[in-house]
């Protein structure tokens, strides 16, 4: 428990489809205390098994457009006929409570977030090879060859933006990639700016002459 109100850190995690980003983030949230994955708003229909407020905050187009007009979104994007967005107020409240927040977004969303919150720490997750990525996409058994080819093109376009990020992780070994993500979060939490707030009274006692 921090002695003062220490603001949390905002983490951006991006990756091409099939790189294992969601599995890594889910495991990270299970194993790291004080870490929250932000829940996005979307206008797409709720799918069987999805829970409103857990998987997404499901909303209609009119309500989404109203939020957009008011500037409520930290980032937003249109995918085909549906809209997705991260509510800035929600993120700010979580950070103010000292929680670390993860945004799972693409490179375009990451650019929007950096423009508004330059202190965000960004991670990009890569597959070990194109062959491994294609194998993972095919292994899902859900898509046609045409869709897989399109996903591969989209993945290559996404990966071309890796240099815009602070950290680069190759998900060849899941446990190793997970440990690397944990290390980045731990390092961020140990920065002087956060530690000075978290252990303020202890520092005063140590340095009191």
Handedness of CA 113, 115, 117, 123 (dihedral sign): positive
Residue 122 backbone phi and psi in degrees, to 5: -115, 140
pLDDT digits (tens, 9 = 90+) for 29-66: 999 999 999 999 999 999 999 999 999 999 999 999 99
Q: How far apart are CA 145 and CA 7, in angstroms?
A: 46
pLDDT at 1 over 60: no
Q: How far apart are CA 124 and CA 198, in angstroms?
A: 28
| pLDDT given at position 143 | 75
- 178-196: average pLDDT: 95
| pLDDT given at position 5 | 61
Whether the Cβ atoms of residue 131 and residue 45 lie closer than 8 Å to each other: no
Report pTM.
0.90
Whether the Cβ atoms of residue 32 and residue 141 lie closer than 8 Å to each other: no
pLDDT digits (tens, 9 = 90+) for 104-136: 999 999 999 999 999 999 999 999 999 999 998
Taking each helix axis from N to C end, the angle separating 130-139 and 145-159, rounded to the nearest 10 degrees, works out to 140
Q: How far apart are CA 103 and CA 96, in angstroms?
A: 16
Whether the Cβ atoms of residue 17 and residue 159 lie closer than 8 Å to each other: no
DSSP 8-state symbol, 56? B
**3-class secondary-structure state, position 169:** strand
Q: How far apart are CA 52 and CA 182, in angstroms?
A: 28
DSSP 8-state symbol, 142? -
pLDDT digits (tens, 9 = 90+) for 128-148: 999 999 998 888 767 788 989
CA distances from 129 to 35, 54, 90 (A): 30, 32, 36
């Amino acid at each position: 428990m921090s002695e003062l109100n220490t603001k949390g850190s905002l983490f951006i995690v991006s990756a091409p489809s099939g790189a294992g980003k969601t599995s890594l983030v889910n495991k990270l949230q299970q194993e790291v205390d004080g870490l929250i994955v932000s829940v996005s708003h979307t206008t797409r229909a709720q799918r069987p098994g999805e829970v409103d407020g857990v998987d997404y905050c499901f909303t209609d187009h009119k309500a989404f457009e109203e939020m957009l007009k008011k500037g409520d979104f930290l980032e937003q994007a249109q995918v085909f006929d549906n809209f997705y967005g991260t509510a800035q107020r929600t993120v700010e409240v979580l950070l103010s409570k000292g929680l670390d927040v993860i945004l799972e977004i693409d490179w375009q969303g990451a650019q929007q977030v950096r423009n508004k919150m330059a202190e965000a720490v960004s991670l990009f997750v890569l597959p070990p090879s194109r062959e491994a990525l294609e194998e993972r996409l095919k292994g899902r058994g859900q898509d046609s060859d045409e869709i897989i080819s399109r996903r591969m093109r989209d993945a290559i376009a996404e990966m071309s933006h890796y240099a815009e990020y602070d950290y680069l992780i190759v998900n060849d070994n899941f446990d190793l990639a997970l440990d690397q993500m944990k290390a980045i979060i731990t390092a961020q939490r140990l920065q002087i700016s956060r530690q000075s707030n978290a252990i303020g009274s202890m520092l005063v006692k140590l340095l009191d002459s």
